[in-house]
Amino acid sequence: MSDYSMVRDKSGNVNGLWLRDPEAAQNRDLLSFLLIDESLPDELIAAVLAGSYRVVPNTFDNAGGCFVIFGSAPAPGEKTAPAPRQKMPKRSVEATQKMPKRSVEATQKKWWQFWK
């Protein structure tokens, strides 16, 4: 696949990728291969494999495709990057596995006996 390009900031750090095919942005294996091919840090590759990136349609020019942006940097053509997502609080295993207690009578009735 030769239809990709690195997106760099003013200091030369990689902020993301431009891909001609927007569907390729959903293929984490392909994205990680491209990052490995460019000899980028392992932390960035691990973040891509975990799905920690945003896909932004290309409105910067008429080349089409999309940008795959790592971190909170704005994509080319974006005025500002969206606010980072807040992590949801983790629930304990016990809270999700506890079943409500039922009375013995209710569990021993047949379904048609509830209509009485």
Let me know if residue 43 belongs to a domain. yes
Residue 85 domain-assigned (yes or no): no
Whether 108 is covered by a domain: the verdict is no
In a domain, 44, yes or no: yes
> Is 27 part of any domain?
yes
3 state SS of 116: coil
Instruction: Specify which residues 5 forms β-bridges with.
Output: 18
pLDDT digits (tens, 9 = 90+) for 4-60: 888 888 888 888 889 998 888 888 888 898 888 888 888 888 888 888 888 988 888
Q: How many CB atoms lie within 10 A of CB 34?
A: 20
* Residue 28, domain extent: 4-79
pLDDT bucket at 96, cuts 50 / 70 / 90 = low
